[in-house]
A and B are shown apart, each in its own frame.
Chain A
Amino acid sequence: MQLNINGQTHEVDADADTPLLWVLRDNLGMTGTKFGCGLAQCGACSVLVDGQVTRSCVTTVDMLEGTEITTIEAIEQDDVGARVVEKWVEHQVPQCGYCQSGQVMAATALLKEVAQPTEEDVRAAMINLCRCGTYNYIKAAIDDLSGRKGEPL
């Protein structure tokens, strides 16, 4: 089947029920998207599908034909994504970094949906887990992106 990933068409040889995450990492060698739980519980595997944050470990590839998939590898080609990454660096958000490609995806999707999310919106949308507990830094970076100057951490 054909998948459109980061603006390129990829011919993929996979069973219909293969999770997108496996295709990304194993078939295509795009390892920026991480495997955390495999059960839609953590968000480490988040990608964008038509601009919406999607957990790729539980998304079957047969659902994705005709959609536009964006992964962390190409997120900076997106205007919003580029701003998110910039602020992520500025606020030094990552610690170990394992969850962060997913966090960047979630933040990008949020800012695409609501340009200036309220604190309440941020709380609702940023639900990916971070073992290192970088939540305060994530919030600071998104506050900054939303035009709120939070307390510097």
Chain B
Amino acid sequence: MRALGLKNPRWLPLHVLLGVVFLSGLCTLALGSVSYQWNFEAVWGYRTKFLAGWAVTILLAICSLVLSTCLGLLAALMRRSVWMPFRATAIVYTELIRSTPLLVQILLLYYGIFQAVGLQNRFVAGVVILSLFAGAYISEIIRAGIEGIPQTQLESARSLGFTPFQTYRFVILPQALRQILPPMTGQFISLIKDSSLLSIIGVQELTLNAREINSYTYSTLESYLPLALGYLLLTLPLSMLAHQLEKRIGYGS
């Protein structure tokens, strides 16, 4: 909640509502001055195309979340490995991904590598690219989660006679999970938003479909306002969930 500057999270819905009313008031004023002609009827005819794009976006985000979590876990464990080549590989992977724009990665991987190896399915290509991208960030989230456990907790487990496996199972895992869940939710939100960039390689997701609807109907705002709304419907609940989780991990320290 601190991030939003709110003292009492119960007021969050009210704040959001007030914000929306205020902002839409501003927009109406701005648009009113250029006398925009609304034409929702033409766009309404393409509602199934819109919904299909929305479904693809959701599916893209979910598939990428699963794959990137696996990749992230692997990279995090490799980073903690005692074997140098593992550590080096993990470091190069995370640093390369985190230091280049996603758009560049999409272009390079799709046109440079996937076309060369004959990966034709755009959806699969999209999932792989997004997962490689998010995996680098997730590996850092997981690493921080494990390394954030105070040494005294492990020492306590040892003094009680826990085996190393029991320590992982009953102390490290549950404590790390609490640390990891809120930033993971944030990462999922990013995945949903970042998937819009896949429109440039022709993945039939929400953004691409909205752009196509716009080109058929010549009604920009009627296509793009629902587009923004489509993303908000997915990300706002998740962002509230992240805040809830964040509150729950507090050990009061």
Q: Do A and B come from one complex?
A: no
